[in-house]
Chain A
Amino acid sequence: MKVTLDQDKCVASGQCVVAADDVFDQDDDGIAVLLDPTPPSDRAEDVEQAAAVCPALAIRIQG
């Protein structure tokens, strides 16, 4: 799977990190940072949860 993150949309809620902290982190302003743009398939459920709970719709998943 391929993950993309639009930092311009991010509202720094940190919900993605709560869902999948091996794929997402936050910088000092709270803006989400993508640690792993191609996480292994066994992380799919948590990454999809991260995308679903993002209040800014900043996370997209392909494949």
Chain B
Amino acid sequence: MTPSRVLVVGASAAGLATAEALRRKGYRGTLTLLGDEPHPPYDRPPLSKQVLAGSRTPDTTRLRTPEVLAALDAELLLGDPAVHLDPRTRTVRTASGRELGADAVVVATGLRARNLPGTDAEGVHVLRTLDDALALRSGLLAARRLVVVGEGVLGCEIAATARSMGLDVTLAGPRPGPMLAQFGPVVSELLAALHTANGVHLRLGHAVTGLTTAEGRVTGVRLDTDEVLPADVVAVAIGGDPATGWLADSGLRIENGLVCDARCRAAEGVYAVGDVASWHHELFDAPMRLENRTNATEQAVAVAANILGADLPYVPVPYFWTDQFDARIQAHGRLGPDAGVTVVEGDPETGRFVARYERDGRVTGVLGWSMPKQARLRRQEIGGPVPSLEPSAP
């Protein structure tokens, strides 16, 4: 049955894209978009790069102009977090006391940035929201030394951006190489070389045990070796948790996100999309949750179709990109630390190459380092057997 009232909880990329896809596919019923932040929908990838660097103003991150939003013919309720969902009646209660009923509810509440415990000192930042980015930027402008805690994609991007702004930057984190968990040792070493060549100090492979403070301000980051990395500002980029706290008493299954079937459905008339959704990927036959920008929109299109009765499994090839210094890195498929890695085009020495990731004789992913087109062309190899011989270059 086609619903006549759809409520999307979350007004960021995934929520907005779901609403837009519903309209594009011909849905004419009531549409409500509920967001916890006061801002109209905005884009997050520029926050750790152009917004932090100051080369783009906050208003350029708006995902849609006011005119385009108005044409969506949706009720936009901002600055009012959802606090409760009853999946049986599909009713959502908000912090301000609203009760919103719908035939279909889409959970698109994203992530909450994790912080180090006991970090209420001045000068300690996380980066998830636009307000976070602006606060970190003003902190960086008044600082000389930054320590970034966390060697994942966000930590590496913050380090690269801050270094380009002229700060003295140290990157700390428990794994021995930058983005080691995502890219594996071969590419992680190249990324380490890139950061080192650009003047970032790498102090990786040690757990952070705490912060040092003086008069309520952070002064450094303490490692498990008892070494203290001095800092005027600390950026904590140790990942995020799916924002499911408001669903704790809903009876829905929460396990590293809101657990969904292959059609991104958590219960009858309840769907999840974006960073918060842990759905069953039928081709990989495994639960999957993707924290990246392209998944937000791609999954939104799939969920909108399923709300309108398509009944299709969501089976994407995962994809994300990261820009650090002059490198534009693009990752298609599943990479990971334990895959075999072969450079199949270009040459790491020249700063342009494509690497193929493989496991058990099958191609699992493709990584492009400043070779975006060539990497994209090879994504069709993903899932197939590893070619036995590369055709030699002409």
Contacts and interface: CB of A to CB of B under 8 A. Distances in A.
A15 B328 CA distance: 15
28 contacts: A12-B321, A12-B330, A12-B373, A13-B294, A13-B321, A13-B330, A14-B372, A14-B373, A14-B376, A15-B319, A18-B376, A26-B372, A27-B373, A28-B373, A29-B372, A29-B373, A30-B330, A52-B20, A52-B21, A53-B294, A53-B297, A53-B298, A53-B301, A55-B45, A55-B294, A55-B297, A57-B43, A57-B63
Contacts of B368: 30
A20 B384 CA distance: 22
A16 B62 CA distance: 21
Interface string A15-47: 101100000001111100000000000000000
B293 A55 contact: yes
A30 B328 contact: yes
B17 interface: yes
A34 B319 CA distance: 22
Nearest to A9: B60
B372 A49 contact: no
A11 interface: yes
Nearest to B368: A30
Main secondary structure of the interface of A (DSSP, over half): loop
Contacts, number: 58
B51 to A, nearest CB: 14
Q: How large is the interface on A (under 10, 10 to 19, 20 to 34, 35 or more residues)?
A: 10 to 19
Contacts of B301: 49, 52-53
Contacts of A12: 321, 328, 330, 372-373
Given A14-B373, A49-B301, 7 more contacts: A13-B294, A30-B328, A30-B330, A52-B300, A53-B298, A55-B45, A55-B297
Nearest to B292: A55
Contacts of A11: 45, 321, 323
4 tightest A-B contacts by CB?
Answer: A30-B372, A14-B376, A12-B372, A26-B373
Contacts of A17: 376
Interface string B133-146: 00000000000000
